[in-house]
Amino acid sequence: MRFVHFDKSIKRLDYVHLSKYFFAISIALIVLGVASLSFFGLNYSVDFQSGSNVDVTVSKSISKGEIESVVKDLDIAEGTTINVGEERISIRFTKVLNEDQDVALKKEISKLDESAAFEVNTVDTEMAKELAQNAIKAVLIACLGIIIYVSIRFEWRFAIAAVISLLHDAILVIAIFSIFQLKVDLTFIVAVLTIIGYSINDTIVIFDRIRENMRFAKLKTRDDLKELVDHSIAQTIMRSIYTVLTVFIAAFFLFLLGGESIKMFSLAMTIGLVLGAYSTIFIASPLWFVLKVREKKKPAKAA
Amino acid sequence: MKRIVAFITVVVVVSALMGWTTPGLLKSMRLGLDLKGGFEILYEASPLEAGAKVTKESLVKTAQSLEKRANKLGTSEPEVTTEGTNRIRVKLAGVTDEAEVRKMMKEPAELTFRSKDGTEKNADEYNKIEMIGTDFAENGAALQFDNMNKPQVSIKVKSKDKFAEITKRLLGQPLAIYMNDELISAPVVQAVLTDGTASISVGGSMDEAKELRDVINLGALPLKLHEKYSQSLGATLGQQSLKSTIEAGLIGSVFILVFMVGMYRAPGLIASFALILHTWLLIAVFAWANFTLTLPGIAAIILGIGMAVDANIITNERIREELRSGKSVMSSVKAGGKHSLRTVLDSNITTIIVAIVMYIYGTGSVKGFALVLIVEIVLSIATNVYFVRFLLNLLLKAGKLMKPKYFGVKESEIRAL
């Protein structure tokens, strides 16, 4: 069976060709992200910085000045940042509040608003760092697991392309959070893990189609291979679009309506889902093509 | 005809089962503190005496005593778990007075009997630790009255010999009782105590005596605790967070269901049913296995539902592809199912591998996330692959669904073979 028999009625883009530009864009974004990470770093929430964070949900508006004077009276003002929103006041202490200060602060604020609800987080940075380190370790070992499984079920080129594509998604989400200085808390780690889970799932689906098409294909030239990749993407693109759309909408609603504490989490997920679909089509599959073409050039080594 | 009856029976029975059990399951669902509010403390344990080691046994023992205390505080369902080699996590829901809790949990950590070793800076100080919390018998403290009818607390020690040796050495000298670094009393040893019991006079008040008794009974913590991390979330905030998250989840789910039916018609309807069943099973597993639902758990559920929807989309797109190529409905479903199964399994297994690694190497929320994901993928394969096929085949064999339009494929899209 030759590719001439492929259904021409399926509209398709020259994905492999286009991917050159997307490679360039992705590399540029990653460079930008890494630069941003090294210059500005991440806007760590209290989870990663020693100190206390007090979030107060209030039923009536309290001015910043009122909170400031409370903090000042209690003699805990040093290094304090106060953010006053409509229903939520966030007070960040660079020092860990002790129990007495904690109690005193709540008492004073409750005087301003009887129905105020509090969320207090105190952390020793070690804990958060340990969690992040363990997560990174887990991701790297998981990558190894993917490489082994995909190499057995497919071939090593798919494995490498899939892992690069998922690391691409993870790095870009982290980069975007750095560039826009969005708040990074513990749930962010979970979000990045979710993105990786989604990204690998998405990538395998397209790879599976490429593998399937390979079985009937006689590939003689580079163009044959290119056409195969383009065709495989075209065959699965509706599924990619539908899936990302449904999951995206679910994550987006969560971002819009979900609880305050998972806002950043949902945002990371929403961005990551789009990235995952993008990288599967424009990074993973073309990358496999690039690796595969190199094999074609060395026929002696081709099995 | 038989098959259509079977189809209807399965759908009705499963729906009834879900409808009937859901309220109960939701009620017995354990929610994490991030969803219902509460107070969480992570302690790091260190040995009471310098140079000693924290053993697994002492850590578990400390956790048990902490749990006893938490129960005594009247909090609902305290969760006390050990983590790693030297940590204890305490989760308490419905705490009204955090300061009180903190104090009660940690304060009676160190009951010590001390004597003077000559390095004291003032007369009321005792530097040499003779006995520590673990030397006292569990629940060995009791209230009694002395000759003057004043309340005192009698205590029992574990090792009679050790106590005898100490009292012999310190005969005529004071042996001070310390709670943490606070001197409670410093009675002078009147006699060598060989029976392993001693009495502590408190100085009059009955309440004080009772408090001391409780403190000693609860207080035999074998380890010293240091608060490493704490988090408190007001109950209303937690509920708000849960409520808005559920609302968002429901809206998202309705969108997904509408999309599936609109896009894939009959199989879409079956897929929607399977998605609902999948979510119900997940809740059932949570309730049955006594898992606690937390925010990372919700994240895993979203990813799992996404993957379950994906499995349906992959299968149905494949079936449509086959239909468009001109095959009959029967063989399209067969071929589509066959081809998509491998795809779905491969993509799900890769994600399971990621989840398993995260479960093994991750800590805290990462672990919880991974566990939920693993359970969900397994459920998803059962419902969104096998159950969906079963229902679809029943309908097909019953002679229903014989037109491509039931699959959302227009006649004009079909090519001749």
The C-alpha atoms of residue B261 and residue B266 are separated, in whole angstroms, by 7
Q: Are B240 and A263 in contact (CB under 8 A)?
A: no
Measured CA to CA, the distance from residue A89 to residue A117 in angstroms comes to 10
Nearest CA in chain A to B311: A243
pLDDT in tens, A172-206: 999 999 999 998 877 788 888 888 888 998 899 99
Domains of chain A, by residue range, sit at 15-45+126-297, 51-123
The minimal CB distance from B369 to the residues A123, A190, A245 is found for A190
Structure tokens at B207: 């309440």
Instruction: Write out the H or E segment, with its range, that includes residue B128.
Output: strand B128-131
C-alpha torsion angle, residues A73, A77, A82, A87 (rounded to 10) = -30
Confidence at residue B312, expressed as pLDDT on a 0 to 100 scale: 93
Strands A183-184 and A43-44: parallel
Question: How far is the C-alpha of B342 from the C-alpha of A208, rounded, in Å?
Answer: 8
What pTM does this model have? 0.72
- Put simply, whether A261 touches B (Cβ < 8 Å) is yes
Residue A115, burial from CB neighbour count under 10 angstroms (0-12, 13-18, 19+): exposed
pLDDT of B59 reads: 82
Angle of the A186-216 helix axis to the B295-324 helix axis, nearest 10: 20
CB pairs under 8 A between A and B: 228
| Residues of chain A falling short of pLDDT 70 | 1-12, 46-47, 49-50, 123-128, 261, 296-303
Provide the pLDDT for residue B374. Answer: 92
3-state secondary structure of B41: strand
Please spell the DSSP secondary structure of B149-180, one letter per residue: S-EEEEEEBS-HHHHHHHHHHTTTSB-EEEET
pLDDT tens digits for range B11-61: 999 999 999 998 888 888 888 777 777 788 888 888 766 677 778 877 887
Reference B222, options B136, B164, B104, B128; nearest CA is B136
Confirm or reject contact between A130 and chain B (CB < 8 A): yes
According to CATH, what is the number of the domain B38-108+225-233? Answer: 3.30.70.3220
> Exposure of B129 by Cβ count < 10 A (0-12 exposed, 13-18 middle, 19+ buried)?
middle
Contact residues, chain B, for A241 at CB < 8 Å: none
pLDDT of A178 reads 93
Q: Which residue has the tokens 């937690």?
A: B238
Residue corresponding to tokens 């859901």: B22
Q: Which residues of B269-295 are buried (b: 16+ CB within 10 A; e: fewer)?
A: ebbbbbbbbbbbbbbbbbbeeebbbbb
**CA-to-CA distance for B299 and B316, rounded, in angstroms?**
26
Answer whether A124 sits within 8 Å of B234, measured CB to CB: no
Contact B252 A131 (CB under 8 A): no
> Does domain A51-123 sit in CATH 1.10.150.20?
no
Mutate which of A49, A261, A270 to test chain B, going by most B C-beta atoms within 10 A?
A: A261
Decide: A259 and A87 in contact? Cβ < 8 Å. Answer: no
Instruction: Kindly identify which residue of chain A lies nearest to residue B305, measuring between CA atoms.
Output: A247
The answer to whether residues B183 and B169 touch, using CB atoms and an 8 Å cutoff, is no
Residue B245 in tokens: 């998250």
- How far are the Cα atoms of A263, B160, B387 from residue B303, in angstroms, in the given order? 16, 61, 20
The DSSP H or E segment spanning B83 is strand B76-83
Interface test with B, best of A58, A151, A154, A257 (most B CBs within 10 A): A257
pLDDT at A4: 38
Q: State the nearest Cα–Cα gap between B300 and chain A, in angstroms.
A: 7
| Residues in contact with A256: Cβ distance below 8 Å, sequence separation at least 6, in sequence order | B248
Distance CA B275, CA A35 (A): 43
CATH topology of domain B1-33+234-413: Multidrug efflux transporter AcrB transmembrane fold (1.20.1640)
- Contact between chains at B42 and A134 (C-beta distance less than 8 A): no
CB–CB contact A135 B366 (8 Å): yes
Burial of B178 from C-beta contacts in 10 A (0-12 / 13-18 / 19+): middle
Task: Say if the Cβ atoms of A261 and B98 lie within 8 Å.
Answer: no
Q: Which residues of B touch A99 (CB under 8 A)?
A: 98-99, 102-103
- Tell me which chain B residue has its CA closest to the CA of residue A151: B350
Residues 6+ apart with CB under 8 A from A29: A172, A175
With H, G, I as helix, E, B as strand and everything else as coil, classify residue B292: strand
Query: In chain A, where does DSSP find H-type helix?
Result: 15-39, 64-73, 99-112, 125-153, 156-179, 186-216, 222-257, 263-279, 285-297
Confidence (pLDDT) at A3: 42
- The yes/no answer to whether this complex scores an ipTM above 0.95 is no
What is the CATH architecture assignment of B111-220? 2-Layer Sandwich (3.30)
Sheet order of strands, B176-179 included = B128-131, B111-115, B176-179, B182-185
For residue A250, the model assigns a pLDDT of 80
Amino acid identity of residue B205, one-letter, is: S
Copy the structure tokens of residue B62: 């400390």
Return the domain boundaries, chain B: 1-33+234-413, 38-108+225-233, 111-220
Phi, then psi, of A53 in degrees rounded to 5: -130, 125
Q: pLDDT at position A282, please?
A: 92
Residue tagged 């006699």 (tokens)? B191
* Token pair belonging to B232: 């408190």
Looking at residue A301, what is its pLDDT?
45
Residues 218-247 of A with CB under 8 A from B: 235-236, 238-239, 242-243, 245-247
Spans in chain B with pLDDT lower than 70: 48-50, 72-77, 94-99, 103-104, 106-110, 133-134, 138-139, 179-180, 202-204, 214-215, 217-222, 235, 416-417
* Amino acid found at B91: K
- In one-letter notation, the amino acid at residue A59 is S
Environment class of residue B40 by beta-carbon count within 10 Å: exposed (0-12), middle (13-18) or buried (19+)? buried
CA distances in angstroms from B111 to B116, B124, B415, listed in the order given:
16, 17, 86
Query: Taking the alpha carbons of B362, B367, B369, B372 in that order, is the dihedral positive or negative?
Result: positive
> Where do runs of H (alpha helix) occur along B295-410?
295-324, 329-361, 365-380, 388-397
Return the CATH architecture of domain A15-45+126-297: Up-down Bundle (1.20)
d(CA A66, CA A104): 15
Considering only the beta carbons, identify the residue of A9, A118, A131 that sits closest to B366. Answer: A131
